[in-house]
């Protein structure tokens, strides 16, 4: 399964019609120690690039945008008690939520892993 | 620092440093027509003359009138310790003293204030105070919109009318609406409040004792709200909490109220402070400053502002609140008041208010033509029905030096004959008996 990235440093991975969303390792590193993840409400529908969730670190509070349109069907409840999971593995156990009813065509407007790496070098 | 006006020598010295020849020259860049020519003040007075003058002015404003007025602001006794400690320069002169490295005293006081509010309200987290009781209700309404992501609040019309106006003012323009549920007679209409709750409801806002003086039990309302994943916001009167169930015990999610009655004088309308407290899980949605306890690098106990990521300087327009004035000094007075009374003293104070009001109810309720409108339990406030317009009666009694209460016709249509009477621990039996006599006179002679 391949991850796709936004310019705002979210990632998305689509499998079996379901999209898993998180923030990139790069974003987690830049934010520093994550203290809180404001998870989206289950059942909420979002359009691509709408505000999806919020994340707070010792340094800043930021929005997390939806990399793809869909309906929130699952959130990573573990982050409530252990927001540091995002620092430990932003692109693995630190995932934020899962969306359903996604249009895979929207992935075309995102970057693949290699393009994202190039993008980061240019920042 | 004492207040010392500048002597002519001081002025000369300062002008010399700046390099201006005269005060006139110093201000020459301000066009003459924009400068005050005169402040229209009489010549100076000696301290004795001034004291006498101010006493005369105060008497003319009714400072010696015996007040039975409440309706949200209450005339309670303030122990001398409150003025003394709160006026210490360390507290009194400090402006936004939140830097932990130099403001441990203030931060600790606010931390203890928060703990006291949590204990009183039965909640888990409090902020360091808000501007006043009305804005506290409004901030709680905004909290409920953020938490539930819904847009409707149900507002019991037995909540203080001024507070309701602030809530509707805050919600106006936020594409959120406040649905008001009219009281039944002169008490909250619990059935209609319950029926109004639906899947769109962010919160139900109620008050106990309500604006008519009724002590209410909102447990069933809390349950109903929670069934619909809505919140219950209870506005409470802190002194009453010495005697009645706290918002926390009733299942409320947010408790708010006016803090004035805790050690702050009535003082023509302010400054006061509002309190707000909530469940721990909602703490990130709590507006304003929160002081937390921590340890420094040598493991010594210390106090700091915490959860800063919710704040304006980090989250900008997405901050939890952008208008959440903290009334540090008034809140400190509240803390000293509570500490001076202690748990037992606080209970006794509440009981004293209750007992005196019960006596007043029986005496005033037996005046010819007067009836009690509040039939259920009340705290220190109750509503009477008079045979004639209440504001006229109040005016007649005021001429005899007694402020009989708040006529409710001003706030509720059709209640022109209703009078809200308040009896705090400061009202003596003689004063209550005198009110009864004056009321009878005003009505029948």
- Is the Cβ–Cβ distance between B408 and B418 less than 8 Å? yes
Q: Of B385, B364, B366, which is closest to residue B374 (Cα–Cα)? A: B385
- Is the Cβ–Cβ distance between B416 and B409 less than 8 Å? yes
DSSP string, chain A: --EEE-TTSEEEEEETTEEEEEE-HHHHHHH-SEEEEEPPPTT-EE-TTSEEEEEEESS-EEEEE-SS-EEEEEE-THHHH-TTHHHH-TTTTT--EEEES--GGGGGGSEEHHHHHHHHHT-
| Whether residue B195 has pLDDT greater than 50 | yes
Q: Of B138, B144, B193, which is closest to residue B165 (Cα–Cα)? A: B138
- Is the Cβ–Cβ distance between B405 and B421 less than 8 Å? yes
Q: Of B189, B197, B233, B195, which is closest to residue B214 (Cα–Cα)? A: B189
| Whether residue B4 has pLDDT greater than 90 | no
Residue in B closest to A51 by C-alpha: B318
Contact A56 B149 (CB under 8 A): no
Quickly tell me which residue has 């400690």 as its tokens.
B85
Residue B99's φ and ψ, nearest 5 degrees, are -75, 115
Closest approach of B56 to chain A, Cα-based (Å): 57
Average pLDDT over residues B272-281: 97
pLDDT value of residue B152? 97
Three-class secondary structure of residue B177 per DSSP: strand
Contacts of A38 in chain B (CB under 8 A): 284
C-alpha B221/C-alpha B369 separation (Å) is 36
- B418 pairs with which residues across the strands? B385
Contact A36 B318 (CB under 8 A): no
Q: DSSP character for B174?
A: T
- Is the Cβ–Cβ distance between B163 and B180 less than 8 Å? no
Average pLDDT over residues B59-76: 92
C-alpha B208/C-alpha B380 separation (Å) is 12
- Is the Cβ–Cβ distance between B181 and B265 less than 8 Å? no
| pLDDT per residue as tens digits for the range B344-368 | 999 999 999 999 999 999 999 999 9
Contact A61 B318 (CB under 8 A): yes
| Whether residue B2 has pLDDT greater than 60 | no
**Token pair for residue B229?**
């994943």
Contacts of A60 in chain B (CB under 8 A): 309, 314
**Token pair for residue B17?**
């440093």
Contacts of A35 in chain B (CB under 8 A): 309
Closest approach of B275 to chain A, Cα-based (Å): 25
Contacts of A61 in chain B (CB under 8 A): 309-310, 314-315, 318
Using 50, 70 and 90 to split pLDDT, how confident is the model at A122?
very high
For chain B, give the percent of residues with pLDDT over 90.
82
Quickly tell me which residue has 């109040």 as its tokens.
B394
| pLDDT per residue as tens digits for the range A48-99 | 999 999 999 988 889 999 999 999 999 999 999 999 999 999 999 999 999 9
Using 50, 70 and 90 to split pLDDT, how confident is the model at B3?
low
| Whether residue B413 has pLDDT greater than 80 | yes
Average pLDDT over residues B281-295: 94
For chain B, give the percent of residues with pLDDT over 70.
99
Using 50, 70 and 90 to split pLDDT, how confident is the model at B279?
very high
Average pLDDT over residues B36-45: 85
pLDDT value of residue B419? 98
Maximum distance among all alpha carbons in chain B? 78
* Least trusted range by pLDDT, from A100-114, B54-68, B314-328: B314-328
pLDDT value of residue B1? 44
* Least trusted range by pLDDT, from A87-91, B29-33, B392-396, B403-407: B29-33
Q: Across all residues in chain A, what is the average pLDDT?
A: 95
- Is the Cβ–Cβ distance between B327 and B271 less than 8 Å? yes
Q: DSSP character for B427?
A: -
Contacts of B149 in chain A (CB under 8 A): 41, 44
pLDDT value of residue B309? 80
Q: pTM of this prediction? A: 0.87
pLDDT value of residue B238? 98
C-alpha B312/C-alpha B293 separation (Å) is 22
| pLDDT per residue as tens digits for the range B238-275 | 999 999 999 999 999 999 999 999 999 999 889 999 99
Residue B92's φ and ψ, nearest 5 degrees, are -70, -35
Q: Across all residues in chain B, what is the average pLDDT?
A: 94
For chain A, give the percent of residues with pLDDT over 70.
100
Q: DSSP character for B187?
A: B
Residue in B closest to A55 by C-alpha: B309
| pLDDT per residue as tens digits for the range B119-177 | 999 999 999 999 999 999 999 999 999 999 999 999 999 999 999 999 999 999 788 99
Chains A, B: CB contacts under 8 A, how many? 18
């Amino acid at each position: 399964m391949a991850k796709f990235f936004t310019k705002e440093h979210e990632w998305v991975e689509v499998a079996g019609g379901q999209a898993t969303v998180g923030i990139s390792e790069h974003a987690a590193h830049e934010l520093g120690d994550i203290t809180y993840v404001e998870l989206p409400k289950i059942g909420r529908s979002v359009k691509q690039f709408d505000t999806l969730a919020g994340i707070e670190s010792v340094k800043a509070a930021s929005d997390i945008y939806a990399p793809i349109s869909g309906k929130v069907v699952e959130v990573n409840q573990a982050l409530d008690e252990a927001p540091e999971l995002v620092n430990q593995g932003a692109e693995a156990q630190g995932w934020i939520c899962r969306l359903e009813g996604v249009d895979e065509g929207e992935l075309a407007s995102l970057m693949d892993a290699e393009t994202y790496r190039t993008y980061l070098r240019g920042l | 620092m004492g207040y010392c006006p500048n002597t002519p020598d001081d002025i000369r010295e300062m002008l010399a440093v700046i390099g201006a020849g005269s005060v006139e020259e110093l201000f020459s860049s301000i066009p003459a027509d924009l400068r005050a020519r005169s402040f229209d003040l009489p010549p100076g007075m000696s301290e004795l003359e001034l004291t006498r003058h101010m006493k005369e002015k105060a008497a003319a404003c009714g400072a010696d009138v015996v007040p039975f007025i409440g309706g949200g602001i209450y005339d309670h006794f303030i122990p001398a310790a409150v003025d003394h400690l709160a006026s210490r320069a360390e507290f009194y002169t400090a402006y936004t003293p939140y830097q932990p490295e130099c403001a441990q005293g203030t931060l600790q006081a606010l931390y203890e204030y928060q703990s006291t509010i949590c204990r009183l309200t039965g909640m888990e987290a409090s902020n360091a105070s808000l501007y006043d009781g009305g804005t506290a209700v409004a901030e709680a309404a905004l909290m409920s919109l953020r938490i539930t992501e819904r847009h409707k609040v149900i507002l019991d019309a037995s909540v203080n009318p001024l507070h309701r106006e602030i809530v509707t003012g805050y919600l106006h323009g936020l594409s959120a609406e406040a649905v008001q549920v009219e009281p039944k007679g002169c008490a909250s209409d619990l059935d209609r409040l319950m029926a109004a709750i639906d899947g769109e409801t962010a919160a139900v806002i109620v008050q106990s004792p309500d604006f008519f003086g009724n002590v209410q039990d909102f447990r069933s309302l809390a349950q109903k709200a929670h069934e619909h994943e809505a919140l219950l916001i209870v506005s409470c009167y802190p002194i009453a909490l010495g005697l009645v169930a706290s918002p926390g015990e009733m299942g409320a999610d947010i408790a708010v109220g006016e803090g004035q009655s805790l050690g702050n004088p009535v003082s023509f309308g302010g400054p006061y402070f509002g309190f707000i407290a909530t469940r721990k899980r909602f703490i990130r949605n709590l507006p304003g400053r929160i002081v937390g306890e921590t340890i420094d690098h040598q493991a010594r106990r210390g106090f700091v502002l915490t959860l800063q990521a919710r704040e304006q300087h980090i989250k900008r327009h997405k901050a939890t609140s952008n208008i959440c004035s903290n009334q540090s000094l008034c809140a400190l007075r509240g803390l000293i008041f509570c500490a001076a009374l202690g748990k037992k003293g606080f209970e006794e104070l509440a009981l004293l208010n209750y007992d005196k009001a019960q006596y007043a109810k029986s005496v005033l309720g037996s005046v010819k033509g007067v009836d009690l409108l509040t039939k259920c339990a009340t705290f220190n406030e109750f509503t009477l029905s008079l045979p004639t317009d209440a504001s006229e009666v109040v005016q007649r009694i005021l001429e005899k030096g007694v402020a009989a209460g708040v006529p409710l016709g001003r706030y509720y249509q059709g209640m022109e004959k209703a009078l809200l009477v308040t009896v705090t621990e400061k009202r003596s039996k003689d004063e209550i008996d005198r009110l009864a006599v004056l009321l009878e006179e005003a009505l029948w002679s």
